Amino acid sequence: MNTADEKELLEELAHCLEEQIALARRGNFAAVLQMAGRCEPLVAEIAATGLLEKPEHKTGRNYLAKLYRDLQLLLSTQQGAVAEQLKSVRKGKKTLAIYHSNV
């Protein structure tokens, strides 16, 4: 694999992660999961070839690490929000069940 091919592979992964971040910001988690499936073979190829270990790809490595951190932060934040909403729904259902049993 030549340097141009290596750079293209890293850029493709970066684009995939950028799309996942945009989808997560819009709350489209099904599409985020689908995009993760697209990223998986790219990550496997990058890992198998050791591209991120090469000094000439230091900038790309740092950018990919930033994208992964951003995506992880977004997903963690959304997970917390969803957990709070579920807690509220459960509390509401419990309140309705108590109210219904007293009527």
Task: List, for the chain, all residue ranges whose pLDDT scores fall below the cut of 70.
Answer: 80-82, 100, 103
**Amino acid at site 85:** Q
- State which amino acid sits at residue 91: K
Cα gap 91→102, rounded to integer Å: 17
pLDDT recorded at residue 69 = 95
The pLDDT value recorded for residue 36 is 92
Other beta carbons within 10 Å of 73: 12
Residue located via tokens 């493709």: 12
Contact 7, 61 (CB under 8 A): no
